Amino acid sequence: MTMPAFELSPDEWTAVLLSLRVALVATLASLPFGIAVAWLLARGNFWGKTLLDGLVHLPLVLPPVVTGYLLLIAFGRKGAVGAFLAEQLGVVLAFRWTGAALASAVMAFPLMVRAIRLSIEAIDRRLEQAATTLGASRGAVFRSITLPLALPGIIAGMVLAFAKALGEFGATITFVSNIPGETQTLSAAIYTLTQVPGGDAAALRLVVLAIVISLAALVLSEWLARRAARRLHGV
């Protein structure tokens, strides 16, 4: 292997950029839901809370291929939700990159919710009480106290979810298959390359890149979390 071997081919670039896009969209689109569910689980006291908790954590324990198959049943073109989305909103998820984003978002959701929930549970509720005596309604307390104080956990949850979404394989390939340029993410591309003769060098390049991206995400999250913590307690 010579140095130019590290230049990615256009197809490899496509897979890398697609993966980043899928993981980014999955993380950002699921964030509002992640915060809402984390808040409900941390603060709510309602019938069915245990059920919601179980449902959120299900993708963590189910075989990913099962999750992918369930998504295919529900969100496929003929699935209950999928047919509705396609007819009413013109949104098709099956065998599209958006479907890959949905699959990774579902798989990453438990990690995101757990991190955010822990940070909300750690907030001193007496600060929220103080805010209500100062005229802040429940919504205002949430925006001005709860959310900023939970920020380190929200960042941690986003990075965990991003990393998980980036590496998601089983549910994605089951739900949206492995179509180059549309649904072939980094992981699927590596898998495909290991199945063809002479694909080793390309697979290795993508593996190195996957490691670099993951490390960069970790470093970034560490830096963001420190910055947020400094802002919270800080000087």
Partner 1 sequence: MLSVDVMKTVGDFAIQAKFDVPSGATVLFGPSGSGKTSIINMIAGLMTPDRGRILCRGRLIFDSGARIDLPPYHRAFGYVFQDGRLFPHMTVAKNLDYGRKHHRLPYDRAAHERIVDMLDIGHLTQRRPGTLSGGERQRVAIGRALLMNPQLLLLDEPLASLDAARKREILPYLIRLRDASGIPMIYVTHHVAEVRRIATVVVRLEAGRVLGVGAPETIAASTDDLEG
What SS3 state is found at 78?
Answer: coil
Which residue in 21, 31, 144, 227 binds partner 1 (CB under 8 A)?
144
13-21, 131-139, 164-172, 196-204 -> range binding partner 1 (CB under 8 A):
131-139
- Within the chain, what is the greatest distance between any pair of CA atoms? 70
203-232: contacts with partner 1 (CB under 8 A):
231-232
80-88, 113-121, 123-131, 168-176 -> range binding partner 1 (CB under 8 A):
123-131
Residue 45 makes contact with partner 1 by CB under 8 A: no
H-state helical runs in the chain: 10-43, 49-61, 64-75, 80-84, 97-121, 125-133, 138-141, 147-149, 151-167, 170-176, 186-195, 200-233
Closest-CA residue to 217 (of 162, 180, 137): 162
Measured distance CA(42)–CA(233) in Å, rounded: 22
Answer for the pair 140, 21: CB distance below 8 angstroms, yes or no. no
Residue 10 or 135 with smaller CB distance to partner 1: 135
Smallest distance, partner 1 to C-beta of residue 122, A = 13
Measured distance CA(184)–CA(195) in Å, rounded: 14
Which residue in 140, 212, 216, 220 binds partner 1 (CB under 8 A)?
140
Residue 78 or 231 with smaller CB distance to partner 1: 231
Residue 233 makes contact with partner 1 by CB under 8 A: yes
End-to-end CA distance of the chain: 51
Residue 127 makes contact with partner 1 by CB under 8 A: yes
Which residue in 131, 158, 203, 210 binds partner 1 (CB under 8 A)?
131
Smallest distance, partner 1 to C-beta of residue 32, A = 21
The contact set with partner 1 (CB under 8 A) reads 126-127, 129-137, 140, 144-145, 148-149, 231-235
